[in-house]
């Protein structure tokens, strides 16, 4: 019985097919009756003029039809005035986005970690850009019932998910009644956050892990043919599919062969390949083999090295021989800012991991006969339709890594996103032993490894403690928001190995700083061993130049 299985059973009993309960925070709408007009806003002014005209027309009709004298102001209905609290963050626009017909103002709080703005498409209005923690108001004027689209117009943000709708209902009169309760109130443009609801939402999203979703990325691509001369033939089709990025949330993913990440292409050094690409996208494409040595005309950069592969059915065959080992990736180069982050990325590897067998680092010796229990890719993304994700899924749909106590695991991080991601693994230090596929002369242990766009780092760790250990990007807005955990989080689940003796290892990587000289595995690089060969107790003897 593993923790993962228990969670799966628990979720199955909840009845919701997606295991995804409604965790919408308590509505935060504040009504005002005396909102001061902002003269600088033409949209607001236009709204006032149109509103006045509308009221005038109603009055005129009443006069004509009823033949009665009408003293305008007395008969005109009081117009509701509503301020809607809106949150803007990477990459979503949130809040209880409803208001009664009438004057509406958006009060936008940037709860993210980078600049945002929010506008209303139908009205042609856009707020000023506001930094993290900042607040800005956007008066919209008098709105008729309907659905209005909110979006952030900072490049790439709408595409990454910063779009939502504001629903204006027809019950303006009812809202006016409610407005009296808070009008002229405590001056806070919003109630206190519902802390209990936030806690409940966090716990609920975390207990939903691991959530089942349709589709799984990184399958290993088998050759469709191996020619007589040994050439391996692979087929890739670029196509747009619906991809369940988190439970119940389907997005339009741009894919190779319908999965995110794309299928892994795993080769041996010296292999010749032919890769047939069919482009079913609406725009041209090409494939760049990132970190892989190829002839120039196979580098996949239209128009320099080839023509674009035509949209809607165009084809192209890449053909080259891999002469060197590589830990690379393949991705679209044309309009990569959109195509790649929408899902067009995959692993391209040649050769074996350059594991430093038998070598000692910071007092920890990697076994000569080490067998890696699991070797997996961890592809990072943060934008496009896929958004903040690990291997094409957002928590709780991310896949846990289930292993046994004592297992060694090798992970390669590939950053196909637009931002850096410091990847933090709880409990188990990671030995960084290759960068962009190049074996390091001096591997090093970390608990947090920053991975920039385009980089690959390959690490090794040994899981000798039982339990569920989370593993996540440490930019906290990439993993948590007010309605719970999401994005770049998964976990290592270490199951107990009967009879496992944690002391059967000369130095435990999880507490190697407690090791005193002599306890370490035989090595000339034992921790704290002074350069002058003394016992190290009198550190003042050692000078920086070693004399």
Sites of contact with Cu ion (CB under 5 A) = 421, 473, 475, 478
Q: Please calculate the CA angle 320-254-492 and round it to the nearest 5 degrees.
A: 90
| 104 versus 451: smaller Cβ distance to Cu ion | 451
In 3-state terms, what secondary structure has residue 53?
Answer: helix
Residues 6+ apart with CB under 8 A from 295: 320
Q: Which of 157, 216, 154, 160 is closest to 341 using CA atoms?
A: 160
Q: How far is the CB of 479 from Cu ion (least distance, A)?
A: 7
Q: Which of 489, 482, 514 is closest to 246 using CA atoms?
A: 489
Q: How far is the CB of 135 from Cu ion (least distance, A)?
A: 25
| Cα distances (angstroms) measured from residue 189 to each of 84, 108, 152, 232, 247 | 9, 11, 22, 64, 33
Q: How far is the CB of 92 from Cu ion (least distance, A)?
A: 15
Q: How far is the CB of 488 from Cu ion (least distance, A)?
A: 5
Q: How far is the CB of 489 from Cu ion (least distance, A)?
A: 10
| 277 versus 473: smaller Cβ distance to Cu ion | 473
| 176 versus 340: smaller Cβ distance to Cu ion | 340
Q: How far is the CB of 100 from Cu ion (least distance, A)?
A: 39
Count, residues in the chain: 547
Q: Which of 477, 426, 474, 12 is closest to 208 using CA atoms?
A: 12
| 460 versus 475: smaller Cβ distance to Cu ion | 475
| 140 versus 473: smaller Cβ distance to Cu ion | 473
Give yes or no for a contact between 251 and 239, defined as CB atoms under 8 angstroms apart: no
Beta-strand ranges (E) seen in 162-231 are 163-169, 225-226
- Dihedral over Cα of 519, 524, 528, 530: its sign: positive
Q: How far is the CB of 497 from Cu ion (least distance, A)?
A: 32
Please identify the residue of the shown chain whose CB is closest to the bound Cu ion.
473
Q: How far is the CB of 484 from Cu ion (least distance, A)?
A: 17
| 434 versus 473: smaller Cβ distance to Cu ion | 473
| 82 versus 412: smaller Cβ distance to Cu ion | 412
Radius of gyration for the chain, computed over Cα atoms and rounded to the nearest angstrom: 30
Cα(301)–Cα(286) distance, integer angstroms: 7
Give yes or no for a contact between 517 and 528, defined as CB atoms under 8 angstroms apart: yes
Q: How far is the CB of 94 from Cu ion (least distance, A)?
A: 19
| 408 versus 413: smaller Cβ distance to Cu ion | 413
Q: How far is the CB of 421 from Cu ion (least distance, A)?
A: 3
Beta-strand ranges (E) seen in 214-359 are 225-226, 232-246, 249-256, 265-267, 272-279, 287-290, 314-321, 326-332, 345-350
Token pair for residue 437? 């596929």
Q: How far is the CB of 21 from Cu ion (least distance, A)?
A: 26
| 30 versus 473: smaller Cβ distance to Cu ion | 473
The owner of tokens 């619906």 is: 242
| 212 versus 455: smaller Cβ distance to Cu ion | 455
Q: How far is the CB of 380 from Cu ion (least distance, A)?
A: 7
Token pair for residue 61? 């009709």
- Please count the other Cβ atoms lying within 10 Å of the Cβ belonging to residue 414: 28
What backbone torsions phi and psi does residue 95 show, to the nearest 5 degrees? 125, 170
| Cα distances (angstroms) measured from residue 537 to each of 181, 237, 517 | 72, 65, 11
Token pair for residue 328? 């690379």
Cα(86)–Cα(96) distance, integer angstroms: 8
| 235 versus 455: smaller Cβ distance to Cu ion | 455
In 3-state terms, what secondary structure has residue 296?
Answer: helix
Q: How far is the CB of 473 from Cu ion (least distance, A)?
A: 3
Consecutive H or E run containing 460: strand 456-463
| 364 versus 423: smaller Cβ distance to Cu ion | 423
Please, which residues bridge with residue 81 across strands? 103
In the chain, what are the helix, strand and coil shares in percent, each to the nearest 5? Answer: 15, 40, 45
| 83 versus 389: smaller Cβ distance to Cu ion | 389
- Please count the other Cβ atoms lying within 10 Å of the Cβ belonging to residue 42: 11
The owner of tokens 């975390």 is: 206
- Please count the other Cβ atoms lying within 10 Å of the Cβ belonging to residue 101: 20
């Amino acid at each position: 019985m593993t923790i993962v299985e228990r969670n799966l059973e628990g979720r199955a009993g909840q009845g919701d097919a997606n295991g995804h309960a409604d965790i919408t925070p308590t509505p935060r709408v504040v009504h005002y009756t005396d909102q001061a007009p902002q003269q600088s806003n033409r949209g607001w002014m236009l709204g006032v003029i149109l509103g006045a005209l509308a009221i005038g027309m109603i009055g005129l009709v009443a006069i004509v039809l009823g033949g009665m004298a009408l003293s305008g102001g007395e008969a005109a209905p009081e117009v509701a005035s509503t301020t809607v609290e809106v949150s803007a963050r990477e990459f979503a626009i949130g809040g209880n986005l409803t208001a009664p017909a009438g004057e509406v103002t958006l009060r936008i709080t940037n709860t993210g970690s980078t600049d945002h703005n929010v506008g209303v498409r139908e009205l042609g209005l856009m707020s000023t850009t506001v930094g993290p923690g900042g607040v800005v108001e956007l008066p919209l004027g008098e709105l008729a019932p309907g659905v209005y689209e909110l979006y952030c117009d900072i490049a790439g943000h709408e595409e990454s998910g910063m779009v939502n709708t504001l629903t204006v209902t027809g019950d303006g009169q009812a809202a006016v009644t409610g407005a009296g309760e808070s009008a002229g109130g405590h001056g806070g443009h919003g109630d206190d956050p519902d802390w209990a609801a936030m806690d409940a939402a966090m716990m609920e999203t975390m207990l939903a892990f691991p959530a089942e979703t349709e589709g799984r990325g990184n399958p290993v691509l088998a050759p469709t043919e191996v020619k007589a001369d040994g050439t391996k033939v692979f087929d890739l089709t670029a196509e747009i599919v619906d991809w369940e990025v988190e439970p119940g949330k389907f997005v339009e993913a741009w894919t190779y062969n319908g999965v995110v990440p794309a299928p892994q292409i795993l080769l041996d050094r010296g292999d010749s390949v032919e890769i047939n690409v069919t482009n079913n996208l609406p725009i041209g494409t090409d494939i760049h083999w990132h970190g892989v040595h190829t002839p120039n005309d196979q580098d996949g950069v239209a128009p320099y090295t080839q023509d674009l592969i035509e949209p809607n059915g165009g084809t192209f065959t890449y053909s080259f021989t891999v002469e060197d080992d590589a830990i690379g990736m393949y991705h679209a180069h044309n309009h990569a800012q959109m195509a790649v982050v929408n899902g067009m990325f995959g692993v391209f590897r040649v050769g074996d991991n350059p594991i430093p067998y038998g070598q000692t680092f910071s007092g920890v010796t990697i076994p000569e006969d080490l067998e890696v229990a699991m070797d997996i890719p961890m592809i990072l993304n943060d934008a496009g339709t896929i958004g903040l994700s690990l291997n094409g899924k957002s928590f709780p749909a991310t896949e846990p890594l289930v292993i046994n106590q004592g297992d060694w695991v090798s992970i390669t991080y590939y950053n196909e996103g637009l931002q850096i991601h410091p990847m933090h693994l709880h409990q188990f230090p990671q030995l960084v032993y290759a960068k962009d596929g190049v074996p390091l002369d001096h591997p090093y242990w970390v608990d947090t490894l920053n991975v920039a766009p385009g980089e690959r780092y390959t690490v090794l760790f040994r899981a000798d403690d039982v339990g569920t250990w989370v593993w996540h990007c440490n930019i906290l807005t990439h993993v948590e928001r007010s309605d719970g955990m999401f994005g770049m989080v998964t976990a290592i689940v270490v199951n107990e190995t009967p009879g496992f003796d944690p002391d059967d290892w000369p130095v435990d990587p999880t507490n190697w700083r407690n090791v005193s000289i002599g306890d370490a595995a035989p090595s000339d690089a034992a921790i704290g061993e002074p350069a002058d060969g003394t016992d190290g107790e009198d550190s003042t003897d050692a000078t920086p130049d070693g004399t």
